[in-house]
Amino acid sequence: MSSPERRQITGFSNPTIKRLKSLREKKHRKREGHFLAEGLRILTEALDAGKTPKLLVVIEDTDLHPLAEKIEAATFAAGGEVIETSEAIIAKLSGKSNPQSIIGIYEDHPTALADIDRNASDIWLVAQALRDPGNLGTILRTGDAVGAGGLILIDDCVDPFSVEAVRASMGAIFTQHVAQAPWPDFIDWLRSGTGQLVGTSLNTDKDYQAVRYEAPTFLLIGNEAQGLPQDYEAACDVLVKMPMMGKADSLNAAVASAVMAYEVLNQRRK
């Protein structure tokens, strides 16, 4: 039996290239059920998490890194396709002038709220109306670092499978559960079982290190510009804030998530 072979594509107008480039837009990702991830590190994290690309794109006439060879072999073994093409075409796909040498197309994998096992982890991250894909990806990366169960996106958030969010997650998009729900559905689900909802807010005097957090802890971070709505704050079990010693009145959403997540983790470690 012969070994599978790469397919070579040389033209920007090729239908496959057009389809892959369209995955940079949310409406096409939703229609296709696939998203684009780029770079050896992220694709290796995906493989380590048991995820293989449906389609792999590599730069032609380039010796692959041993890890990239492993990803290619896994793609073929799973029935996927490997395309080799020019660096210029890969740059079009990635949207960067200095593209990575390898791109993978993966099935998106959102988790239904009802399928989350809240007791699988002591820490869960929750973000409301998050607008910046870099923040979302960084929060996913923080979740992976602290051993969180995943990220629950509330209301209208940026797409977690956008190229920018996936890039910022540094592979955590493949290790963290990602769920999305309107606020009423989330709060009903949360109150149907155990879980302490902790909101970050300027409307409290309670220091974030003065609270003893209960497992599982759901850390709720508000929109970058507006913070949490008042009724969302009222539904929290506790509101906390971090001391601000300078002129700024708040931290970036991703930074605040990291500070809170590590405080909860450190309490568990002690």
pLDDT tens digits along 118-127: 999 999 999 9
Output the average pLDDT for the chain.
Answer: 94
- With beta carbons less than 8 A apart as the criterion, state whether 122 and 143 touch: no
Q: How far apart are CA 153 and CA 179, in angstroms?
A: 6
The 10 Å Cβ neighbour count of residue 205 is 8
75 and 203 assigned to the same domain: no
- CA 7 to chain centroid, in Å, comes to 30
Distance of CA 69 to the CA centre of its chain: 25
Same domain? 208 vs 144: yes
The closest alpha carbon to 184, from 121, 224, 128, 111, belongs to 128
Q: Is the pLDDT reported for residue 2 higher than 60?
A: no
Q: For position 9, what pLDDT does the model report?
A: 94
pLDDT score for 218: 98
Both 72 and 138 in a single domain? Answer: no
For 82, the token pair is 């490997």
CA separation for the pair 219, 200 (Å, rounded): 8
Query: In the listed set 80, 107, 134, which residue is the last one of a domain according to the structure?
Result: 107
- pLDDT of 79 over the 80 cut: yes
Mean pLDDT across 212-229: 94
Give the pLDDT confidence score for residue 3 in this predicted structure.
60
Residues 149 and 23 in one domain: no
Main-chain phi, psi angles of 261, to 5 degrees: -65, -40
Q: Determine the average pLDDT of the residues in 202-224.
A: 95
For residue 1, tell me if it sits in a domain. Answer: no
Question: What is the mean pLDDT of the segment spanning 146-154?
Answer: 97
Residue 4: predicted pLDDT: 85
- Res 238: pLDDT: 98
State the Cα–Cα distance between residues 204 and 241, nearest whole angstrom.
7
pLDDT digits (tens, 9 = 90+) for 156-208: 999 999 999 999 999 999 999 999 999 999 999 999 999 999 999 989 999 99
Which CATH number belongs to the domain containing residue 152 in this structure?
Answer: 3.40.1280.10
Residue 175, domain member (yes or no): yes
Residue type, 253: A
**Is pLDDT at 1 greater than 60 in this prediction?**
no
pLDDT digits (tens, 9 = 90+) for 27-60: 999 999 999 999 999 999 999 999 999 999 999 8
The pLDDT value given to residue 249: 74
118 and 98 within one domain: no
Give the H/E segment covering residue 126.
strand 123-128
Instruction: Write the pLDDT tens digit of every residue in 99-109.
Output: 778 999 999 98
The residue behind tokens 């003065």 is 210
The pTM for the full model equals 0.92
Domain membership of residue 81 as a residue range: 7-107
Task: Look at residue 101 in the predicted model and tell me its pLDDT.
Answer: 84
Quick one: average pLDDT of 210-239? 95
Into how many domains does the chain fold? 2
Does residue 15 have a cis bond before it (omega within 30 degrees)? Answer: no
